[in-house]
Structure 1
Amino acid sequence: MSAPAYDWLTLEPDEEIVWSGEPELLGYVWVFVVGVVLIPLFGLGFVIIASAYLTVKNTAYVITTDSVFKKTGVLSRQITDIGHENIQDTGYRQSFVGRHYDFGTVQVSTAGGSGVEMSLDYVADPLAVQSQLDSVATKKAPADESTDRNGRNPVRIDGAALDELVEEMQATRKALESIERRLKDE
């Protein structure tokens, strides 16, 4: 995909841009409506409209073969990135207007994080963006199928082994209760 050059983005030699975008202006329609309503109030509406427009124009999202990036900031600049190996889960949501005009928010959660760590707000075709992100993040998963995306080795127990484990735990509990009773009696 041919993407615009980003002066704020430094890529590794083998890293490529897979997708890039910015928020859809239509996603901020409610801000513009409020701004128009507040224009008679000392021109406050102009400030609200200008602020929303500058926010949209100074926000960029980039998905590369290694990470997902979000750049924000009008007067200052903040760049957030999450490596694909750290992505635990992705999702997307769309409002009623977003479903009608096909824009929404792609959400990225990381292992060890609490909830959504990054959101790509008001992107066009959020399902396609989420699918693309999942596709490149999955390619970064470890080659060994016995580990998950985060390098952990999940334990798999079949039904018979689970029953045996439960029996052993029950026997251990009975033994500990017996020891506890003896200690109380002494």
Structure 2
Amino acid sequence: MTDDLLLHADEDVLWQGSPRLSAAIGAVLGGLVLVSGGVAGVVFLPPEASLFARALVALLIPVGLAVPAYRVVELRRTRFAVSDAAVYARSGVLSREVRRVGLERVQNSAYTQSITGSLFGYGTVTFESAGGPSATFFRIETPREVRSLVDRRAERARDPVPGTIEQWTEVLAEVRELRAAVERRGGGQE
């Protein structure tokens, strides 16, 4: 699944997902309306209607079938991933767009859940970057956890100092001991 995201060879995938198919409900309903209109038009069009009018009304049927089919294919080809270096959003049916935002550039994140999203456990997470592209993971499972994962990783990636506070406190204590030892030997006087 991550092969088409163009991850760098040294990256490890921490999370991956795709939007829920329920995102196609609007397209399915719209397609149903178009098909119903096309069928009703063909059946109830008066016999004296022109061939052009009949063809135009009949065209609603394949268009009504194509709209939800395209949406489902679009959703199935949309992929999201979080690696140890970046967040990725891939989309496109006939062409491919892969958006990469390095974790060190993620400046802000937000997640939203609709009422149904809260009930069924899905939502949208947006990652904004400083001076670059943003990435949106829409209709994904556990959006809060994904946001938290990226926020933790982004903070680590932006932190220029390696190690923990405890490790640096130990280093400071060692340096103070060395300084005290040098001063006791008289090396600190000039």
TM-score norm. by structure 1 comes to 0.68
- 1:47 deviates by 1.2
Instruction: Give the structure 1 partner of residue 28 of structure 2.
Output: 32
Q: 2:68 aligns with which of 49, 73, 87?
A: 49
Give a deviation string over 1:101-151, Cα, whole Å, max 9, x none: 1111100111235xx822111111111111111122122122449xxxxxx
Tell me if 1:79 matches 2:98. Answer: yes
State the one-letter code of the partner of 2:22. Answer: L
Tell me if 1:123 matches 2:123. Answer: no
Identity %: 27
What value does the CA root-mean-square deviation take over the aligned residues?
1.9
Tell me if 1:9 matches 2:6. Answer: yes
Closer/same/farther in 2, CA of residues 124 and 70 from structure 1, 3 Å limit: same
Contact 2:15 2:81 in 1 (8 A): yes
Contact 2:78 2:89 in 1 (8 A): yes
Larger % of helix: which?
2
Name which structure has the greater RCO, CA cutoff 8 Å, separation 6+.
Answer: 2
Q: How does 1:87-166 map to 2 (within 5 A)?
A: 87-112=106-131, 117-144=134-161
Contact 1:103 1:125 in 2 (8 A): yes
Contact 1:55 1:72 in 2 (8 A): yes
Give a deviation string over 1:17-63, Cα, whole Å, max 9, x none: 00000011113322222222222232222111111101101100010
Alignment partner of 1:63: what SS? strand
CA distance in structure 2 between the aligned counterparts of 1:31 and 1:80, rounded to whole angstroms:
25
TM-score norm. by structure 2 comes to 0.67
Residues matched between the structures, number: 139
Instruction: Give the structure 2 partner of residue 167 of structure 1.
Output: none
